[in-house]
Structures are given as structure tokens and as C-alpha cells.
Amino acid sequence: MEQLLTPAFWLGIAVTLIRLVTIGVGGLILLRFTNMIIEQFFIPKPGAKTIYLDEKRARTLSSLLHSIIRYAIYFIVVVMMLQEFKIDTTSIVAGAGIIGLAVGVGAQSLIKDFITGFFIILEDQYGVGDYVVIGDMTGTVEELGFRVTKLRDGNGILHIIPNGSILKVSNYTRGHMQAVVNVPVPYEADIGEIFTILEAACISVGKSMPEVLAGPNVVGVVDLRPGEVVIRITAKTVPLEQVKVETTLRRLIKEQFTAAKIPPPQAVTTGSMPQ
């Protein structure tokens, strides 16, 4: 009891409290400093130079890093404080490592989902609203998280796909798309007249449709089949609008062929290809 009243005891208590406060304040300062660095890196001020990241992806990644660093600093601060009370933290650190290993082994698929989701967002493979093909499923991305991707197909069915199972993605909404129209014409038709009609149709569609980014252009004869010559037209279009451009081209070509009295190709079942 007398030891509790000695100056050395109270000095030790004071030093311990100061060290605990220092550890706590140091952890808080470190946490705020790392948060500031993350914010400046992922979400810079206007005009600042940094890597390009979509705002939604930047906020998602910064939130994840905030959480990881926060819990890491909490763990370090707690261990250092326990050491101030002469508590052996070796067993605590070893136990945390064993627990982490057990969780990792038992949740390999979950960890794989999170890691894959992280890189999907970081590399901007696709985002919400994109029209994609993932495996044997096609649809619009409704939600993208670190663990799963939610994809709604053309029938309105919502598919929930674990990110770890995603091996290949085809994205139809990045960059331009290409509209392709193959026009079959009979061998007896005047090829010069055909090209004139197709060129006129291309000019009309190119001027009237804002979905067209370049073209359409007549590529030329791409195939010689029994009873018909195949001429191809191509155009660069806005993503997901290539079908609209193709149907418009076909309708206009059909109308102009009818007006010019160009007959459709006749099916050839016997004999050889016309020379």
C-alpha cells in the first residue's frame, strides 16, 4: 500500500498515461494523414494532376482503402497500448494471424470475389448501365459491388454473378460499334446502278441519323454466291444503336430497289453459278 503513495509510482503512472495519450494521438494523426493522402490521390481538387478515374470508381476505391487502413491502425494502436501495461502481445498477434489464416482458408471464394471485384472497378472493365456479356449471360449492369455483379437481361431477369466466377467480359458500350449490312443482288442487275443506289442510301442515312458516327460506306462486293452477288455496307455507330442503323439502311435500300425495279436474287437449287 505504501508503494502506491511513492513519487516513483505516480511518476510511472503519469509516464504511462502520457505514452498512452501519445500513442492514441499519433494513431489519430496517422489516420487523418493517410485519409488526406487517399482523398488527394483518388478525388483530387479541380485542376490537380492525377491519374484518371471515374468519380464513382474513385469513391468506391477510396472508401475501401479508408476501411483497410483504419482497421490496421486501430489494431496497431491497441497492441502498442497493451504493451504499455506489460501485456505480452506476441500471442495476440500470433492468434490474429492464425484466425486470419483460418478465415482465409474457409472463405477463399469470398476473398476471390472481393479481389476480382476490386480489379474490375480499378480497371474499369464495365460499370453500371453498360451492356455486357458475362459467360452465357447478356444484359445491362444494374449494380457493381466488390463481391457480386447484378445483371438484368432482356427478359427482365436479374442475374447475380459472383465476381470471382467472371473470367471474360464483352462490353458493348465502350467506344463505337459497327453496323454491317450485306445486300444480295442478282447477277443480271447493273452493278453500276446498284452502287449508285447504295451510295445514295448511305448518304441519306448518314445525314439523317445522329446515331451514325462515320459512314455508312459501301465496302464493295464481298461474296459471290449461286444466284447472287453480296455487297457490304458498314458504318460506325453510337453504342447499342447499330441495329437501328442496320434496319434503317435495309428499309431504305428495299424502297429504292423497288422504285428502280431491281428484282431480288432468285434461289439457285441446281446448275452452276452464272458467269
Question: What CATH number should be reported for the domain holding residue 101?
Answer: 1.10.287.1260
Q: Are residues 189 and 252 in the same domain?
A: yes
CATH code of 243's domain: 3.30.70.100
Whether 118 is in a domain gets the answer no
Q: Are residues 25 and 100 in the same domain?
A: yes
Question: Which contiguous run of DSSP H or E holds residue 132?
Answer: strand 131-134
Nearest-angstrom CA–CA distance, 100 and 115: 16
**What is the per-residue pLDDT for 50?**
46
Q: Are residues 19 and 100 in the same domain?
A: yes
**What is the per-residue pLDDT for 49?**
47
Whether 275 is in a domain gets the answer no
Tens-level pLDDT at each residue, the chain (275 residues): 555 566 666 666 777 788 888 888 888 888 888 888 777 766 655 555 444 455 656 666 666 677 778 878 887 888 888 777 777 666 666 666 666 655 555 556 777 877 888 788 777 788 878 888 988 888 888 888 778 888 898 888 899 988 888 888 888 877 778 888 899 998 888 888 889 989 988 888 888 888 888 878 888 888 888 888 898 999 888 887 888 888 999 999 888 888 888 888 876 554 444 44
Q: Are residues 148 and 101 in the same domain?
A: no
Stated pTM of the model: 0.49
Q: Are residues 85 and 41 in the same domain?
A: yes
CATH code of 143's domain: 2.30.30.60
Q: Are residues 229 and 208 in the same domain?
A: yes
Which of these three, 140, 155, 171, is where a domain ends?
Answer: 171
**What is the per-residue pLDDT for 64?**
65
Q: Count the domains in the chain.
A: 3
Q: Are residues 9 and 58 in the same domain?
A: yes
Q: Are residues 196 and 238 in the same domain?
A: yes
By C-alpha distance, which of 235, 117, 123, 129 is closest to 173?
Answer: 129
**What is the per-residue pLDDT for 145?**
76
Q: Are residues 142 and 228 in the same domain?
A: no
Whether 95 is in a domain gets the answer yes
**What is the per-residue pLDDT for 60?**
61
Nearest-angstrom CA–CA distance, 133 and 153: 10
Whether 32 is in a domain gets the answer yes
**What is the per-residue pLDDT for 103?**
55
Structural domain range at position 60: 2-106
Whether 111 is in a domain gets the answer no
**What is the per-residue pLDDT for 273?**
47
Residue 162: how many CB atoms within 10 A of its CB? 15
**What is the per-residue pLDDT for 8?**
67
Whether 89 is in a domain gets the answer yes
- Residue 104 corresponds to which cell in the numbers above? 482465409
Compute CA distances 99 → 37, 104, 108, whole Å.
30, 8, 14
Whether 268 is in a domain gets the answer no
Whether 274 is in a domain gets the answer no
**What is the per-residue pLDDT for 237?**
87
